[in-house]
Amino acid sequence: MSLQFKLQPANKISGEIRVPGDKSVSHRSIMFGSIAEGTTHVTGFLEGEDSLNTLRAFKAMGVEIEGPVDGKVTIHGVGMHGLKKPTTTLDMGNSGTSMRLLSGLLSGQAFDLELAGDASLTKRPMKRVTDPLALMGAKVDTAEGGRPPLKIHGGSKMKGIHYDMPMASAQVKSCLLLAGMYAEGETSVVEPAPTRDHTERMLTAFGYPVKTVNNKMSLQGGGKLIACDIDVPTDISSAAFFMVMGAIAKDSDILIKHVGINPTRTGVIDILKLMGANLTLENEQEVGGEPVADIRVKSSHLKGIHVPEELVPLAIDEFPVLFVAAACAEGQTIVTGAEELRVKESDRIQVMADGLVALGVDATATDDGMVINGGTIKSGTVNSHDDHRIAMAFSVASLGAEGEIVIDDCDNVNTSFPTFVELANLVGLNLTTNS
């Protein structure tokens, strides 16, 4: 039987917590540490299934990796060309980030290999990376409809390209920059809207220069990475659930420690502030090229807004819980320009709209977003469609609910936030599971 969450209404949220490490930074620390020269020490690594799949993939390609133990990982880098052909298919599980970034990094290797994933990942579109990789000279075969598994043929002679991305995607940008390290000449990518820049920041920290001019990122092929120490900030996407808890609970004061506040990721903070959230940043500093801060949130009187479209790409993963904030706000919230949500682990626009309607909320899905009229959340049962962020978002909805909320299909929460149930109950949520 799949994992089920049951939540009774609660109204007091308080405490000081540290959420798990940032998934995007955790993935990249393993990838870059593995192809660097020397030994990389990582602290704060996210021990969720997605990042562990990346770690297992590099072990399967001959990289010696110790840990993780309490978030500490030691990676003995093999250099740009030291990876070995794995004896089996590399299983990326549920991780689109792993598959898309590795398709770039591995297309420049000398050996053939296959990348596969779970049922959810197998439905996700990969042509957005395989098409531009083909322009660089990579040979990557997909299954029907441009979907996984991906078969990568080694030994390709890669050339740098200039690529105008048709849609904003940090995964596509990162994939092409990583392939560009193995290509002859310069690879440059132009993005139509800003996306997270963890790849550029971390490559620079590993001594591989990336040039950024406005919305164009470029690098020269043939360089090398030098090992360094990475202290992974905590994940703002995971912190977002607690920010919204603090904002919608009647009696709250919560401090979320050491959160990554990379400017390409802080859309959730800006949107909540526009809605009237009582949210402040404390103890701001920079760690390993990434800005971090403690985030304090107190009870707030949220109001509905039309979310500015320029903030949408900066909060794309946080929309499931932002839709919950909108359901608890006074008045109407309109989200547009978020069509990317339809091709995540689930169709997050439709799944969230269906779940909110099941809980008595006036919510209407649109092609590229949602219209939500805030009001009361009633009791009911929702299906997370095996999507971790949906399951956690509806858990937060219990703070504004009139009765019990039951969420089906919650096993996937382990992919990004293995300690969610424990931390949520610690700060005041009333969450039980059937396991």
CA–CA separation, 369 and 376 (whole Å): 21
The CB-side HSE value for 279 (13 A sphere, CA atoms) comes to: 26
Q: What stretch of H or E contains 431? A: strand 430-433
Catalytic center residues: 317
Burial zone of 207 (CB within 10 Å; 0-12 exposed, 13-18 middle, 19+ buried): middle
Packing angle between helix 420-427 and helix 236-248, nearest 10 degrees?
30
* 88 three-class SS: coil
* 56 three-class SS: helix
CA–CA separation, 239 and 339 (whole Å): 23
Instruction: Find out whether 257 and 219 touch, Cβ atoms under 8 Å.
Output: no
Instruction: Find out whether 377 and 401 touch, Cβ atoms under 8 Å.
Output: yes
Q: Which two tokens stand for residue 400?
A: 């504004």
Beta strands in 352-408 (DSSP E): 362-366, 369-373, 380-383, 405-408
Residue from 247, 231, 230 nearest 239 by CA? 247
